[in-house]
Chains A and B, each alone.
Chain A
Amino acid sequence: MYQKEVVAMLLAGGEGKRLGVLTNRQAKPAVPFGGKYRIIDFALSNCTHSGIETVGVLTQYEPLILNSYIGIGSHWDLDRNRGGVTVLPPFVQQDGGRWYKGTANAIYQNIAFIERYNPRYVLIISGDHIYKMNYSHMLKYHIEKNAELSIAGIEVPWEEASRFGIMNIDPSTRIRSFEEKPIQPKNNLASMGIYIFNWDVLRSYLIKDENNPNSSNDFGKDIIPMMLQEKRKIYAYPFNGYWKDVGTIESLWSANMDLLSNHPSLDLNDYHWRIRSSNTNYPPQYIGSSAKIKNSLINEGSRVYGEVDHSVIFYGVHVGKGSIIKDSVIMPNVQIGENVMIYNAIIGEGTIIKDGCRIRSENGKITLIEEKTQIFGSPQVEDIHAVNINS
């Protein structure tokens, strides 16, 4: 039996409730990002660039778009004869079937998949973070530390620390305690939800956890605390690049805006770490004589006649004459008429905005328009149709 050194398990079942109407019909990892990508592209591209060629993608919530998007994995060079990408939905066995109860249970239910490759290590990642990371560096670190589990960690702003799993480490970076979403965090080193386990260790804990009827079967809440309690060798792997959990409308919007600075900390133009994606086959963008564009990302298949300032425009978008789009994210195939104004908004895929509409919220919040909405041009419309989501 041949052995793969490492198998990646990508958790992509997230419903992403806090993304509101964007996740009505698709799982969070499938949400469009950055003018051409979907969120999951980042984790999958990281795998490819890190030399990991066996990836299980665990899906559950609204899997249609995600499944068809991943396909045989060719977008990321993961269409391999041995390994490659495998989509792993929950399934029914002889003794019945169940949904994935938690992150750990999702891996538990796919032990058979992992054992096909008999790996030494298992990398657990999730499909809803925007970052570029070479997992092979983390693996090297894991091996050097002789760890049984390594958790990638990043320093987050103190005020946000209570949103994350917070790790308390000793000077050797060994983790002494781990608190999931603490009310009063002791430090600001947050878990990025990226784990490397020795497979034999993980396997034994998955089984132990599954046999505990009181467990919520979650890595952060159950497995890691149990391992800490049993004094397993758990190390934090410090990461200091760009990383963003795009779990809320605000963070999704601001991660898009982060791409627009002159030297963004997440560089999409880095030739050696291209984010691979499905590359829709659209003609190049057409910029009309009346167009004004600055500080923006614009994708193929778009036609721009209006003004675009500090915004992200996906493929197939039409921006009519006299329209102004500022600080906004316009998702694929949105049709914007003439003299429309859009400020601080995320406009869902396929929405049609008729001439003269104004979309802007009063309190500086981000306005989110559901996909395939039609918005007509009376001045009051912004209050009627525009869905305002607070996180």
Chain B
Amino acid sequence: MEEVMGVINLSNDRDQLNELTFHRSSASVPFGGRYRLIDFTLSNMVNSGIRDVSVFISNKYRSLMDHLGTGAEWDLDRKRGGLFILPPSFEHTSSPFKGDLQHFQDHIDFFYRGQQKYVILTGGNLVANMDFRPAFEYHQVSGADITVIYKKLDPDLDDDQSYRKMEIDEHRRIITIENESNRLKSNKSSLEIYIIEKQLLLDMIHTNTENGKYDFLQHCIIDNLHQLKIFGFEHKGYAVKIDSIESYYRHNLKLLSESHWHNLFSEPGPIYTKTKDEPPAKYLDGAEVSNSIVANGCLIEGKVENSILFRGVKVHKGAIIKNSIIMQKSEIGENTIIENVILDKEVFISPERKLIGTKDKPLVLGKKSMI
């Protein structure tokens, strides 16, 4: 995989994560007790043997930059190559964002400088533990111009609306991909992971931007379905896109099934993230925890059931937490009851409160809320 450069393109992650993305990009939304969404894609790239990864960031990226740092946690702090974080160029922060191709064009040198012959292009909000190597091998063997990784939707797991569905003929050639309209009756949905030869990508960037076309999906893929050999490669494992509060809530709580937890975090490779000097979680007198995921630095004196606690959460005596997701450093006061709730970071809930959402519509409190 030395011939592949990784590009994580955050310019067009669709998200309706509301409160959770007021202050951050969807790629840096916390997930699974100690991760950020981008950790999955980034770890997949590294575990697949990719050594150069660039992240095209578009806005609200303070927390993402903080998280990624030098890339050391992913072993991407290299003298040559490694991690590149590429913000939008200055001129265009004052004008409306035209599209990801403009962003690529602004950093075209990055593509020229890389020694690699191929590019793997992904978004930043897919939760999966995936080896890209089989898809890359397929790409080379099949003679495809572009390979798109897709999965078959699972009615129990997936929300139709979130995915761009596609049709594929018997030679695995893609005939249609939805852009926005959600009209196709197909169970195949694009995971928006593209493998493409760098020269072709550069060519498409130049031609399109010169003609005022700036959308990778529309102008490079959809418009070329008939001219280029654009093939699909099926990913058979678990992969979910997190782009709404509902999918965020549902897929987090799905991790409470142990086999799920195990598969997502360890196979085929480990998921790396920024580590912290948090002490082990401490269970005090009165702690009652079951069927939950707990990160380090937590102090638990209350009851936690069917929930996910991120690092450094405090649960005081008599508090009851059920079916909830509590992010870093939030604090739950004594005898407070919380059910079907998502608390963003550093939320403080005073004693004796009752916060109850529903399974379909969890209650969400934004970062640093105090109640």
Interface residues in chain A, defined as those with a beta carbon under 8 Å from any beta carbon in chain B = 34-36, 74, 262, 268-269, 274-277, 279-281, 283-300, 303, 308, 312-314
Contact = CB atoms under 8 A, between A and B. Distances in A.
Given A262-B285, A297-B282, A287 B294 contact: yes
B177 interface: no
A245 B292 CA distance: 36
Contacts of B278: 274
A297 B279 contact: yes
Contact of B295 (A36, A262, A284, A292): A284
B296 A286 contact: no
B296 A291 contact: no
Of A34, A287, A291, A296, most B-chain CB atoms within 10 Å: A287
Given A294-B287, A299-B281, A284 B294 contact: yes
Nearest to A267: B279
B2 interface: no
Contact of A289 (B279, B283, B290): B290
Nearest to B314: A269
B145 to A, nearest CB: 37
A274 B277 contact: yes
Given A276-B277, A279-B276, A284-B295, A293 B34 contact: no
Interface in B232-282: 258, 261, 265-266, 270-273, 275-282
Contacts of B370: none
B280 A279 contact: no
B289 interface: yes
A262 B284 contact: yes
Contact of B280 (A35, A286, A294): A35
Nearest to A292: B288
B271 A295 contact: no
Contact of B261 (A262, A286, A294): A286
Interface of B: 32-34, 72-73, 258, 261, 265-266, 270-273, 275-297, 299, 308
Nearest to A76: B277
B284 A294 contact: yes
A296 B261 contact: no
Contacts of A286: 258, 261, 293
B40 to A, nearest CB: 12
A268 B281 contact: no
Given A281-B273, A288-B258, A288-B291, A295 B279 contact: no
A294 B283 contact: yes
A35 to B, nearest CB: 4
A268 B279 contact: yes
A269 B73 contact: no
A296 B283 contact: yes
Given A268-B280, A297-B280, A300-B296, 7 more contacts: A269-B299, A274-B277, A274-B278, A293-B283, A299-B280, A313-B280, A314-B280
Ranked 7 nearest A-B pairs via Cβ = A284-B33, A279-B275, A268-B279, A35-B280, A283-B265, A299-B280, A284-B295
Nearest to A290: B290
Contacts of A283: 32-34, 261, 265-266, 271
Given A294-B284, A303-B258, A281 B277 contact: no
Nearest to A296: B283
B291 A284 contact: no
A318 to B, nearest CB: 11
A269 B32 contact: no
B325 to A, nearest CB: 12
User: Which of B282, B284, B295 has the most chain A CB within a 10 Å cutoff?
Assistant: B282
Contacts of A295: 283-285
Contacts of B308: 284
A115 to B, nearest CB: 32
B195 to A, nearest CB: 27
Determine chain B's interface SS by DSSP, over half rule. Answer: loop
Contacts of B73: 281
Contacts of B276: 279
A36 B289 contact: no
B265 A279 contact: no
A130 to B, nearest CB: 13
Contacts of B275: 279-281
B280 A289 contact: no
B272 A275 contact: no
A289 B306 CA distance: 8
Contacts of B289: 287, 291, 293
24 contacts: A35-B279, A36-B279, A36-B296, A268-B280, A274-B277, A281-B73, A281-B273, A283-B271, A284-B293, A284-B308, A286-B258, A286-B261, A287-B289, A289-B290, A290-B290, A292-B288, A294-B283, A294-B284, A296-B282, A296-B283, A298-B280, A298-B283, A300-B296, A313-B280
A286 B34 CA distance: 13
A272 to B, nearest CB: 12
Given A293-B287, A295-B284, A303-B258, A285 B279 contact: no
Nearest to B72: A74
A300 B279 contact: no
A256 to B, nearest CB: 11
Contacts of B272: 281
A269 B32 CA distance: 22
Nearest to A263: B284
Contacts of B295: 284-285, 300
A286 B257 CA distance: 10
A268 B280 CA distance: 9
A299 B296 contact: yes
Contacts of A36: 279-280, 296
B78 to A, nearest CB: 15
Contacts of B265: 283
A280 to B, nearest CB: 8
A6 B209 CA distance: 59
Contacts of A296: 282-283
Given A284-B33, A284-B294, A288-B291, A34 B282 contact: no
A288 B270 CA distance: 21
Given A291-B289, A295-B284, A300-B296, A284 B277 contact: no
Contacts of B293: 284-287
Contacts of A276: 277
A288 B290 contact: yes
A287 B277 CA distance: 21
A276 B277 CA distance: 5
Contacts of A284: 32-34, 293-296, 308
Nearest to A289: B291
A7 B222 CA distance: 64
Contacts of A275: 277, 279
A269 B282 contact: yes
